[in-house]
A and B are shown apart, each in its own frame.
Chain A
């Protein structure tokens, strides 16, 4: 068990800078997820922690020791790969015990550890099978078992669920969380799936173009994104961004979307945005769940408006609506019982208590 620290870590391939000087502190027992689009440097970062890639510059520390030049086998880490990487000629038990056998652990100890891990992962009856006799989900369990029996300082997961179908992915996500609750090993987990990141992580690290955009708890990232990239990346359906300006009217600060549509800001928001440059081109960020059908009674910060729906998508527990606002397609979420029909008008309301205001030029959240 150990903490992991990255100090100004850089990875350069010839002329391409894949990782551009990132700093990251992962506490003991913490489950940290690196998430971002493909090519953002998340896998490279993980592989540098594993020692599978050399680092060009900076320091990586595991348990307080700089491991820049320590080979993977001496870093006391275990890794689970996207394609499982099980040894095809070995049984499940042999796969799991390979590392322990190399280190010449006593037989009894190896057996005890395999039994424990197999029970934890519910693969006891598969222990004598070869990988090709297993399903994808079972293979991934074995790969996790191989990591667990080593009892390493750090678990590294490289998109472990990407090869599984949607249903199995949800199931294995829960399994991974359960395993972490039991073994409490420091974990670094890489995924491009923001749902996986949100559901698994103690803290999420959002990466983009080789840099860290934001580090925070799943709730922080969702409710207080620091940049437009994070705001757009986290959450599904994604946040709506509408071009807008701030203006004073009738003594209140308004956010103006079009000539016709301007919403007065609630008082706390108005205080926060008071210092923003009034003529500046801004973006109003609104999550779909903050655009709902209008309620009969007025509430502070909830502002009604009329829209004609283009498309509705009934999801069962909610209905997603798409309509045009200020020249942009906007997504909202309404109650399944609301009278939302394709091509029909509907009175909607925006919840400005949960709005975000972004600088269009820099992408920074104000």
Chain B
């Protein structure tokens, strides 16, 4: 009763009860509104690609409703999936991406561990430096990099330009700094006592990394893996510059260069190729999302 009287004493004051939940309701409505809006914007292109990929060339050029398929056909898929060339692009992309992920992890994990845990002279500066290198746009780097590999070919006689595997050496310059940076963050969130406990238990630095840090920071590792894979898979500029022969191309470049003949755009196959090209990252996301659970560290310390 007394609290009721106090509320009445200030008639001009807004009653706070319930206002929190009213704010919350509006926050939710706005979030749903914008989430739906962005989902539509993000999903329209792939839906359009899917629709177009199911059409014959004749239907694409006909003046019908572009958002509807009147005579669905899988001929685009059949042609691409039986084409040696397309499978070659796919194979090149896969080999490069898997190799780049492996190289990136092999470098980033120990680097992040050293930078986040082994305090040595200049470690903090180095950690920032790693991040700064990521800020340089790759479009600035491709000419000097091209020159480097051309000179390397001149000096050693080992020709790497126009070989698909040259990209395995180039992509880590993009993936390593960012992945190292992500992992530094994840490793830094592991309580210091955990490695101290491991060290007292008799673990070496390497054992602390492999037996404690990698399992505990698995979500971060997976995030870095996904990043490295996506960057390598979707990279366009470098393969366009470094590879030219048809059998050396990767998927994104291959689709553009072989399916556009002069000014003839084979839209149906371009869309099909793009969709098929987008599939592996999607599958990887879907598969790894299950493991991508934050809060794996819960229970390590006071939780």
Contacts and interface: CB of A to CB of B under 8 A. Distances in A.
B200 A50 contact: yes
Nearest to B190: A88
A81 B197 contact: yes
B237 interface: no
A86 B201 contact: no
B200 A130 contact: no
B275 interface: no
Interface string A49-93: 011100000000000000000011100011101111111110000
B200 A89 contact: no
Contacts of B302: 83-84, 136, 163
A150 B197 CA distance: 12
Contacts of B301: 81, 83-86
Contact of B201 (A73, A130, A134, A139): A73
B296 A88 contact: yes
A347 to B, nearest CB: 42
Contacts of A77: 200
A33 to B, nearest CB: 20
B207 interface: yes
Contact of B191 (A73, A83, A98): A83
A93 to B, nearest CB: 14
A89 B202 contact: no
A79 B197 contact: yes
A73 B203 contact: yes
A146 interface: yes
A175 B194 CA distance: 24
A301 interface: no
Interface in A247-280: none
Interface string A194-223: 000000000000000000000000000000
Contact of A130 (B194, B204, B299): B299
B174 interface: no
Which one of B191, B201, B302, B303 has the highest number of Cβ atoms from chain A below 10 Å of its Cβ? B201
B196 interface: yes
A95 to B, nearest CB: 9
Contact of B196 (A81, A102, A163): A81
A85 B202 contact: no
B235 interface: no
Interface string B186-210: 0000010110111111111001000
B129 interface: no
A132 B303 contact: yes
Given A83-B301, A85-B191, A87-B216, A52 B202 contact: no
A244 to B, nearest CB: 46
A131 interface: yes
B211 to A, nearest CB: 8
B201 A146 contact: yes
Contacts of A297: none
A124 B35 CA distance: 49
Contacts of A88: 216, 296-300
B298 A132 contact: yes
Interface string A4-24: 000000000000000000000
B299 A85 contact: no
Contact of B199 (A73, A86, A139, A150): A73
A78 B201 CA distance: 7
17 contacts: A52-B196, A71-B199, A77-B200, A79-B196, A81-B193, A83-B302, A85-B300, A86-B197, A86-B301, A87-B197, A89-B218, A89-B296, A102-B201, A132-B298, A133-B299, A146-B197, A163-B302
Nearest 4 pairs between A and B by C-beta?
A132-B299, A83-B301, A99-B201, A85-B193
Given A87-B197, A87-B212, A89-B215, 4 more contacts: A73-B203, A83-B191, A88-B298, A98-B198
Interface of B: 191, 193-194, 196-204, 207, 211-212, 215-216, 218, 296-303
Interface of A: 50-52, 71-73, 77-79, 81-89, 98-99, 102-103, 130-134, 136, 139, 146, 150, 163
